Amino acid sequence: MNSIKTQWKEKWVNQPSLMLITVVIWSIFIGLCIQAGALLFTFAYSLFNPIVSQNLYEGLNLSALREQNIWYYGGVLSIVLFIAGQKAYLFFLMIRIFLKINLIQPFSREVSKLISSISYVALEIGAGIIIASGIFKWMQVRGYELDRVPQILGGGFEFLLMAALLIAIGMVFKRGVEIQDENELTV
């Protein structure tokens, strides 16, 4: 416990900008966890009490869809929950990166692996949003009311772009680790 406290103090003294970013990322992560948790709770509760589907999260009203087809209702909310959970997990991985990174020796295998993990999660989110948007358009054409579900998910192409950038950064970090290891062997 004392070593963790000492590490945090050292990071705040030596790398205050990274720690400030970490605090911001923590707040976003907590917000995304609250969103996912609220959606999960209200979805589960709405299965037993249909009136809850009128205000699932921030005014999201899927009561018409629930009345039309409860299976589609469950499927839509499962997709939304999956994407919300993945977004929270993405920020959790970002927190881990900012806690592990060291500006004195920035290239480490652990940070490189975390960057690769983040890129794959961002790719999953982007692909999931694009597929979900197609499914939701198909449902709307067939007369199912989805309220603001597509807007809650956001854009998938932004996550695909982020994944592509993170894959490139991950490759740079991987090469940086190799060069750093070579330099340590020669010294």
Q: Mind giving me the DSSP string for 72-99? A: HHHHHHHHHHHHHHHHHHHHHHHHHHHH
Residues 160-185 have pLDDT tens digits of 999 999 999 989 888 888 888 887 76
Q: How confident is the model at residue 187 (pLDDT cuts 50, 70, 90)?
A: low
Residue of 151, 175, 127, 147 whose CA lies nearest to 65? 147
pLDDT tens-place string over residues 39-68: 999 999 999 988 988 888 888 888 888 899
Q: How far is CA 99 from CA 7, 15, 27, 122, in A?
A: 10, 10, 15, 20
Under DSSP, the state recorded for 146 is -
Residue 6's pLDDT is: 73
Cα-based angle 19, 2, 93 (whole degrees, multiple of 5): 40
pTM for the model: 0.87
Residue range 84-89: mean pLDDT, rounded: 95
Q: What is the pLDDT of residue 129?
A: 94
pLDDT for 119-144, tens place per residue? Answer: 999 999 999 999 999 999 999 899 88
**% of the chain at pLDDT higher than 70:** 93
